[in-house]
C-alpha cells in the first residue's frame, strides 16, 4: 500500500476542505507520565500531535515524543522553539522561519544549527513560514525571539508576508497569535491570506472553543492548532 507523505496529507486536506486539528503539547508542561491521561482527552477529530515550546529542557522533547509514539496513531510533528528540541523520533518537523520578525537568529541561524540533526534522518521536513500576529498579550514567542508581532490591523503586511513566503518556496504558512493569546487571528486576516496564497494554512494561538475553530476553518484555515485550552483542562481534571 502506498501511504501519502505528511505534506501530501496537508495538501489533500487543503484541496478538499478537510479540517485538520493539531493538538500542541509543550514538553515542559506535559510529563511523559501524564500521556495516558492526556490522550484520553484528545478532542474528536484530532489529526496531528504537535510537540514543542518556546523554552524546553534538553532531552524533554525526545522523552515525550517516545512516550507519545507508543500510544497515538496521529503523526507526531515537531514545532520547535529551538533547534535543540529536534529529535529524529518524530514523524515530521515544521522547519520554521519567523518571517514576521527581523531577527537573523530565527530567520536563518537556528535553521543552520538544525541541519546536523536532520541530515541522516527520515523526519519529514516541511518548510514553514511562521508569522507572529498580535494576540493581545506579550507572547513567549515574542519574548524569546526578541521580535514584535504584526498588529492585526496591518492585514496587508500579513498578506504580503505570506505571499512572499510562497514566492520563496515555503510549503506551509502558520499564522500565530501566540500561545495563550487573548484573541486569536481574526477571520478577516485568515480570509485575506487564504485568498492570496495557494499553500495550506495553519492558524493557532488563543483558540479555545469549537465556535472559534469553526470560524477559522470557515475563513480558510486548513489546520487549527490548540494547546493552552486542553492543557488547562488536563490540569483541572487532575486537580493540579
Ligand atoms: C501556540 O498556536 C499555538 O504556538 C497554540 O496556541 O496555546 O493558545 O492554543 P494556544
Identify the CATH number of the domain in which residue 88 sits: 3.20.20.390
Structural domain includes residue 133? yes
76 Cβ inside 6 Å of ligand 1: no
- List the helix and strand counts (H, then E) for the chain: 10, 8
Q: Tell me how far the alpha carbon of residue 41 is from its chain's centroid.
A: 19
* Residue found under cell 504584526: 150
When the pLDDT of each residue in the chain is averaged and rounded to a whole number, the result is 96
Give the tens place of pLDDT for each residue, 10-39: 999 999 999 999 999 999 999 999 999 999
8 A C-beta contact, residue 94 and residue 77: yes
> Which residues does residue 97 pair with via DSSP β-bridges, in sequence order?
129
C-beta of 80 in contact with ligand 1 (< 6 A): no
Residue 101 within a domain: yes
Is 1 part of a structural domain of the chain? no
Confidence bin at 239 (pLDDT 50/70/90): low
The pLDDT of residue 1: 61
Q: Is the C-beta atom of 97 inside 6 A of ligand 1?
A: no
- The pLDDT, as a whole number, for residue 237 is 79
Ligand 1 atom with minimal separation from the 141 CA: 4
C-alpha cell at 149: 508581532
**Do residues 78 and 61 lie in contact, with contact meaning Cβ atoms separated by under 8 Å?**
yes
Domain span at residue 164 reads 6-237
CB of 204 shorter than 6 A to ligand 1: yes
Mean pLDDT calculated for residue range 124-129? 98
Give the C-alpha separation, 153 to 84, whole Å: 34
pLDDT above 80 (res 240): no
Alpha helices in the chain (DSSP H): 6-16, 35-40, 60-69, 104, 110-118, 140-145, 155-168, 187-196, 210-219, 228-237
Number of C-beta neighbours around residue 55 at 10 A: 12
- Interstrand relation of 92-98 and 172-176 (parallel, antiparallel or unpaired): unpaired
pTM above 0.75, yes or no: yes
pLDDT-derived band of residue 236, with 50, 70 and 90 as boundaries? Answer: confident
Q: Is residue 104 part of a domain?
A: yes
Of 22, 8, 46, the C-alpha closest to 174 is: 22
> Residue holding cell 529542557?
57
Share of the chain above pLDDT 70, in %: 98
pLDDT at 2: 66
Q: Is the pLDDT of residue 181 over 80?
A: yes
Task: Evaluate: CB of 226 within 6 angstroms of ligand 1.
Answer: yes
- What's residue 54's pLDDT? 92
Residue 199 lies in a domain: yes
Report yes or no on 226 lying in a domain: yes
pLDDT at 233: 86
Total domain count for the chain? 1
The whole-number pLDDT of residue 65 equals: 98
User: Does the residue 33 lie in any domain?
Assistant: yes
In a domain, 46, yes or no: yes
Nearest ligand 1 atom to the CA of 79 is 4
Atom 5 in ligand 1: which residue has the minimum CA distance?
Answer: 205
Q: What does the pLDDT look like over 40-73, one tens digit per residue?
A: 999 999 999 999 999 999 999 999 999 999 999 9
DSSP SS3 for 1: coil
Provide, for the chain, the percentages of residues in helix, strand and coil under a 3-state DSSP scheme, each rounded to the nearest 5.
40, 20, 40
Ligand 1 centroid, distance to 224 Cα (angstroms): 9
Centre of ligand 1 to C-alpha 193, Å, is: 19
Q: Is 30 touching ligand 1 by the criterion CB < 6 Å? A: no
For the CA of 177, the nearest atom of ligand 1: 2
Evaluate whether 11 touches 200 at the Cβ level (below 8 Å). yes
More confident residue, 222 or 240: 222
CA distance 198 to 201: 9
Cell of 195: 485568498
CB atoms within 10 A of CB 38: 24
Amino acid at each position: 500500500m502506498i501511504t501519502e507523505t505528511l505534506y501530501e496529507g496537508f495538501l489533500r486536506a487543503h484541496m478538499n476542505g478537510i479540517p485538520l486539528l493539531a493538538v500542541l503539547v509543550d514538553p515542559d508542561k506535559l510529563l511523559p507520565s501524564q500521556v495516558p491521561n492526556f490522550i484520553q482527552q484528545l478532542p474528536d477529530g484530532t489529526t496531528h500531535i504537535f510537540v514543542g515550546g518556546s523554552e524546553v529542557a534538553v532531552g524533554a522533547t525526545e522523552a515525550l515524543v517516545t512516550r507519545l509514539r507508543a500510544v497515538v496513531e496521529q503523526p507526531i510533528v515537531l514545532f520547535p522553539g529551538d533547534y535543540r528540541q529536534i529529535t529524529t523520533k518524530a514523524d515530521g518537523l515544521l522547519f520554521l522561519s519567523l518571517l514576521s520578525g527581523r531577527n537573523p537568529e530565527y530567520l536563518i541561524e537556528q535553521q543552520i544549527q538544525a541541519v546536523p540533526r536532520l541530515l541522516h534522518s527520515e523526519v519529514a521536513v516541511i518548510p514553514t513560514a511562521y508569522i507572529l500576529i498580535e494576540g493581545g498579550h506579550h507572547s513567549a514567542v515574542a519574548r524569546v525571539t526578541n521580535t514584535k508581532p504584526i498588529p492585526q490591523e496591518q492585514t496587508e503586511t500579513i498578506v504580503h508576508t505570506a505571499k512572499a513566503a510562497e514566492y520563496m518556496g515555503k510549503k506551509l504558512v502558520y499564522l500565530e497569535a501566540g500561545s495563550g493569546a487573548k484573541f486569536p487571528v481574526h477571520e478577516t486576516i485568515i480570509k485575506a491570506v487564504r485568498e492570496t496564497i495557494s499553500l495550506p494554512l495553519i492558524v493557532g494561538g488563543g483558540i479555545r472553543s469549537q465556535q472559534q475553530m469553526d470560524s477559522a476553518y470557515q475563513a480558510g484555515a486548513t489546520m487549527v492548532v490548540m494547546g493552552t485550552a486542553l492543557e488547562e483542562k488536563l490540569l483541572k481534571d487532575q486537580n493540579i
